[in-house]
Each structure stands twice: as structure tokens, then as C-alpha cells.
Amino acid sequence: MEALHIIGEEHQSLAAILHAIRFMLKEVAAGKLAADLKLFQAMVHYLDAYAEKRHHPKEDLLFHRLPQRTADGAEALAKLGLQHAAAPQRMAALEQALAAYVADNSRFDNFARAFETYAEFYREHMMLEEDVVLPLLRKHLTADDWTELDAAFRAEMADKSGKDGKAEDFSALFSRLVDCAPAPIGFGPRPFAN
């Protein structure tokens, strides 16, 4: 069940980034923090390139196995499937709001609202996965399923680790994001540089 462990760790990293952005937006709104636009852009990029494009496809590998083992969770799976498929629209809304804010400071509130919508969506999405689907996977998938799925996850992680320069190194990016986020979330504030 290494695959489940990887999904759990990714949820923690994603929750940390969502929490960091939410915290910074509040601090900026309160006049306690100068907005670091490059850091916001890098965090939104992380959400797109990791959460939406690497995390969900791995989950789909797991989720597609469940209906082969049980009819339980069908409604949740259908909902999650639609939500995974809607990633491009969801990201476009967030990216447009951020681009508008980068171009024009007065669009801060609009970006903060768009982010709040995204974060709230994502929180509920992860809760549905963790409360309903992951326990069903744990209960119904067979040992052979796990051997196969764990191997697929390991291969995905190794292929796209970024350590060989062929893919983006998201664990390094995550550390850099946390380094720049203000305390108590991260170790900054420190300006984020590409």
C-alpha cells in the first residue's frame, strides 16, 4: 500500500501550500506583509503542475481499480472523476485571477476570492478522497492489486523525480516555496527567485 502512503504525503504537501497562500493573502490584506508575486506565481504553478497534473492521474490509477472489486463508493468516484477532469477550467480561473492581479494591484481582492474558491474546493475534494475512497481501497483491493499499483507509483515517481533533469523537481520546489513563505508557515518571508 505504498501508493496510499504517497497519496497521503502528497495531500499533506498540497494542504501546506494551500494553507501558506491563504495565510499570506490574509497578511497582505491586513497590511502586515508585502505581496511576493513571484512566490504566489510559483505556488500556483506547483498547484497546477503537481496537484492537478501529477497527483490526480496517480489517484485515477487507484480509483479505476475500485469498481472492479466493489460497487461501494460509486457515487464518490463519479464525483471525483468529474472533479479531476475539470482541472483545466479550475486552474484557468485561478491563473487568470493571478495574472490580472500581477498586472494591476487593485485586483488583489479578486485574486484572494478566486484563491479562496480554489482552496475550499480542494479541501472538500481531499476530504471526500480521504473519508470515503481511500478507506474503501484499503478494504477491497487485493494484495496483487497493491503489488501492481505500488510498482506503477514507484515507476511514476522515479521517471519524473526531476533528479535527472528530465522533469521538474517538485520536492526541491516545495522546499524552496516553504523557505520563502513567512513564519510560522515557512522560514521566510524571503523573496522567491526563479
Binding stretches for Fe ion (CB under 5 A): 56, 59, 129
Nearer to Fe ion, 81 or 162 (CB): 81
- Provide the b/e sequence for 125-139 (b: ≥16 CB within 10 Å): bbebbeebbbebbee
Give the SS3 label for residue 163. Answer: coil
As measured in angstroms, the least distance from the Cβ of 30 to Fe ion is: 31
Cβ closer to Fe ion: 56 or 90? Answer: 56
CB-wise, 25 or 77, nearer to Fe ion?
A: 77
Region of 184 on the Ramachandran plot (φ > 0 left; ψ -120 to 50 alpha; else beta): alpha
Rounding to the nearest 10 degrees, give the CA dihedral for residues 29, 31, 37, 42: -70
Beta carbon of residue 83, minimum distance to Fe ion (angstroms, whole number): 7
Nearer to Fe ion, 108 or 174 (CB): 174
Which set of grid coordinates corresponds to residue 48? 497546477
In DSSP terms, 182 is beta-bridged to 188
**Smallest separation, CB 108 to Fe ion (Å):** 29
CB of 47 to Fe ion, least distance (A): 12
Q: Which is nearer to Fe ion, 9 or 104 (CB)?
A: 9
For 19, the grid coordinates are 494553507
Nearest CA among 175, 183, 194 for reference residue 33: 183
For the bound state, the minimum distance from the C-beta of residue 32 to Fe ion, rounded and expressed in Å, comes to 32
